[in-house]
Amino acid sequence: MSNGQPTLLGIPYDASSSFLRGAAFAPPKIREALRSPSANGWSETGIEVLAAGVLGDDGDVAFAEENDPRSAITAAVRRILARGRRPISLGGDHSITYPIFEALAAERRDVTIIQIDAHPDLYDSFEGDRFSHACQFARIMEAGLAARLVQVGIRTLNQHQREQAARFGADIIDMRAWAAGARPSISGPVYLSLDLDGLDPAFAPGVSHLEPGGLATRDVLSIIQSLPGPIVGADVVELNPSRDLNDRTAFVAAKAVKEIAARMIETA
């Protein structure tokens, strides 16, 4: 399954994190949970994701001190795309989504981003850093790298980010709207960006920014399983293993990866 094959890419980068570091150590924890003998390799929809040749793995991005890390991420994603495959990136902090889109946008810019997150990440600059993990969707949208931004699970909007959301035409389903029954409406090519702090800390405690009142694991899986195609790529970010409890969040991340890969195959 080389044509359109879902392919893992570890991005062990957290230098753009605020508050706490630690997300750089997440990729091996997610892979370990994905292949744990405590579960099997099948998706809920009946695809054996871990069968030979179904899910590719390009290893981890190697960062050299003398090189720009964002350029290294973009180059690694471009290599996956050049082989006709679709990246599932394992963060790392959420800032990695911007360099991923610098690679994706070289091929197409008609993509809808569905972002699952507690935070909108639309700051123009955060703590003096325009490339912080609180700014990546502002960078993507101002550069015209995606056609539409749909945000689900948001529960931390301040005035600046409300203004930024209006500027970029972001469609926000915050947690109050979700609880009232609102659901995303998406068509055409889609990219999923899953920040694990979009889930309630009861389901995903292993994140740096604990924000109560979020989505359940089943909510997130339902969103994944209802995505239209084609799915051009995805990322699962912000697992901080130093904050996790019995690898609980790593297993949530691995479950999401399995269902994302299956949905990529189903909608190819």
Here the tokens at position 223 are 């969103």
In a domain, 172, yes or no: yes
Whether 242 contacts 25, CB under 8 Å? yes
Q: What distance in Å separates the CA atoms of residue 210 and residue 198, rounded to the nearest whole number? A: 9
Nearest Cα neighbor of 191 from 131, 130, 238, 141 is 141
CATH number, domain containing residue 76: 3.40.800.10
Residue 66 pLDDT: 67
pLDDT of residue 229: 83
Q: Quick check: 142 pLDDT over 90?
A: yes
Range of 124-128, 129-133, 256-260 with top mean pLDDT = 256-260
- Give 175-178's long-range contacts (Cβ < 8 A, gap of 24+): 175/213, 175/214, 175/215, 178/152, 178/153, 178/215, 178/219
Please classify residue 229 by burial: count the beta carbons closer than 10 Å to its beta carbon, then call 0-12 exposed, 13-18 middle and 19+ buried.
middle
Domain that includes residue 114, residue range: 6-266
* Helix and strand numbers, DSSP H then E, in the chain: 8, 8
Over the chain, what is the mean pLDDT? Answer: 96
> Looking at the predicted structure, is the pLDDT value of residue 193 above 70?
yes
Q: Tell me, yes or no, whether 1 lies in a domain.
A: no
Structural domains in the chain (count): 1
Give every CB contact of residue 165 below 8 A, 6+ residues apart in sequence: 120, 122, 151, 157, 172
Residue 1 has pLDDT above 60, yes or no: no
pTM of the model: 0.97
Q: Given the DSSP bridges, would you call strands 6-11 and 231-237 parallel, antiparallel or unpaired?
A: unpaired
pLDDT in tens, 223-241: 999 999 899 999 999 999 9
Alpha-carbon span 136 to 170, nearest angstrom: 14
